[in-house]
């Protein structure tokens, strides 16, 4: 790991200016993705700007039918939140299934979606729950945010402040986890909204995507049997040591059915 300067700003505006002044500055939130990347010398920032304890990036509240969660909220806090459990219990369940207690106690919502690991869980929730990502300068809709493997629409010096989720009529997340890391080999969030059903898939491909054929089938009948014979194509899916693209395609239907069944 290379040497770096460490900054602990006291406000969002201090964080913005520390980042702007750095040669190759990086935000540090929970460090659960960035520190391993730095240890492997895949990133060598000149400056780390720690935002994990900024008040402006913390807190959970419900407002006009949406649940708003600060970017620096840890997975453990989302899992434990009575407000989340009441508004969107599926989101608390998803957070409870991330990694292990150490990862959940440090890792944050903002860090997870900024990193956009293809096997991360939160992108499924952000897309299925019609998420909006508020940054220090604009609001980005979920589907414009996740632009590719480990890529997002964020500018280099842009800071996620909070994520807002539409409260659905019902929703559930089902994941086939890697047995060691708990990252998703395949994860599917199904959410039924007044405006229609959204099915978002992670782990299967390079980036989170919506399974639109499944959404249409579930809009016809919100029952696991509606997904009999409905599958995503394996063509664009990932083959790696854990699973072939064909197996992942099969898992998407199985996880989607489990999520629908869990919606009750
Ligand atoms: C052993 C292990 C198991 C894991 N298992 C899972 C799992 O099952 N499911 C899962 O989804 N994830 C898993 N993770 C990843 C974990 O969820 C991380 O917490 C998450 O990917 C990154 O969040 P962080 O707060 O630690 O971000 P950091 O590591 O601090 O930052 C990650 C990246 O995001 C940027 N960033 C951070 N905050 C912001 C912000 N507010 N605005 C803009 N950019 C920002 C940073 O600059 C950096 O580029 C696992 C990690 C480990 C180490």
Q: What CATH number has the domain bearing residue 10?
A: 3.30.43.10
Atom of ligand 1 nearest to the CA of 178: 8
**Ligand 1 and 52: CB distance under 6 A:** no
Give the pLDDT confidence score for residue 127 in this predicted structure.
Answer: 98
Question: Is 45 part of a structural domain of the chain?
Answer: yes
Atom of ligand 1 nearest to the CA of 183: 8
Question: Separation of 214 CA from ligand 1 center, angstroms?
Answer: 29
**Ligand 1 and 70: CB distance under 6 A:** no
Give the pLDDT confidence score for residue 247 in this predicted structure.
Answer: 98
Give the pLDDT confidence score for residue 228 in this predicted structure.
Answer: 97
**Ligand 1 and 59: CB distance under 6 A:** no
- Atom 21 in ligand 1: which residue has the minimum CA distance? 112
Give the pLDDT confidence score for residue 264 in this predicted structure.
Answer: 80
- Atom 50 in ligand 1: which residue has the minimum CA distance? 99
Query: Could you read off the pLDDT tens digit of each residue along the chain, which spans 264 residues?
Result: 789 999 999 999 999 999 999 999 999 999 999 999 999 999 999 999 999 999 999 999 999 989 999 999 999 999 999 999 999 999 999 999 999 999 999 999 999 999 999 999 999 999 999 999 999 999 999 999 999 999 999 999 999 999 999 999 999 999 999 999 999 999 999 999 999 999 999 999 999 999 999 999 999 999 999 999 999 999 999 999 999 999 999 999 999 999 999 998
Question: Is 248 part of a structural domain of the chain?
Answer: yes
Question: Is 185 part of a structural domain of the chain?
Answer: yes
Instruction: Find the CATH number of the domain harbouring 259.
Output: 3.30.390.50
The number of domains in the chain is 2
Question: Is 77 part of a structural domain of the chain?
Answer: no
Backbone angles phi, psi at 84, to 5 degrees: -70, -45
Question: Is 130 part of a structural domain of the chain?
Answer: no
Give the pLDDT confidence score for residue 21 in this predicted structure.
Answer: 94
**Cross-sheet strand order for the sheet of 209-210:** 170-177, 184-193, 196-202, 209-210
**Ligand 1 and 110: CB distance under 6 A:** yes
Residue span of the structural domain in which 225 resides: 169-264
Task: Answer for the pair 23, 46: CB distance below 8 angstroms, yes or no.
Answer: yes
Question: Is 257 part of a structural domain of the chain?
Answer: yes
Give the pLDDT confidence score for residue 81 in this predicted structure.
Answer: 98
Atom of ligand 1 nearest to the CA of 57: 41
Distance of CA 100 to the CA centre of its chain: 16
**Ligand 1 and 131: CB distance under 6 A:** no
Atom of ligand 1 nearest to the CA of 114: 34
């Amino acid at each position: 790991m290379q040497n770096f300067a460490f900054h602990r700003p006291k406000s969002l505006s201090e964080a913005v200016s520390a980042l702007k002044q750095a040669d190759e500055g990086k935000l540090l939130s929970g460090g659960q993705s960035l520190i391993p990347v730095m240890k492997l010398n895949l990133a060598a920032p000149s400056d780390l700007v720690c935002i994990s304890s900024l008040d402006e990036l913390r807190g959970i509240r419900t407002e006009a039918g949406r649940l708003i969660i600060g970017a620096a909220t840890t997975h453990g806090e989302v899992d434990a939140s009575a407000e989340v459990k009441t508004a969107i219990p599926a989101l608390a369940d998803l957070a409870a299934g991330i990694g292990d207690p150490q990862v959940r106690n440090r890792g944050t919502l903002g860090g997870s979606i900024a990193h956009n690991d293809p096997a991360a869980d939160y992108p499924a929730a952000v897309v299925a729950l019609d998420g909006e990502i508020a940054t220090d300068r604009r609001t980005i809709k979920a589907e414009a945010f996740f632009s590719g493997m480990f890529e997002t629409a964020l500018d280099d010096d842009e800071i996620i402040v909070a994520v807002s989720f539409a409260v659905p009529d019902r929703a559930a997340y089902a994941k086939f986890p890697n047995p060691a890391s708990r990252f998703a080999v395949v994860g599917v969030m199904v959410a039924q909204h007044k405006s229609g059903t959204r099915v978002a898939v992670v782990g299967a491909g390079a980036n989170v995507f919506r399974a639109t054929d499944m959404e249409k089938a579930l809009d016809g009948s919100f029952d696991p049997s509606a997904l009999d014979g409905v599958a995503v194509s394996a063509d664009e899916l990932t083959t790696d040591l854990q699973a072939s693209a064909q197996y992942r395609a099969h898992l998407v239907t199985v996880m989607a059915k489990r999520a629908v069944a869990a919606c009750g």
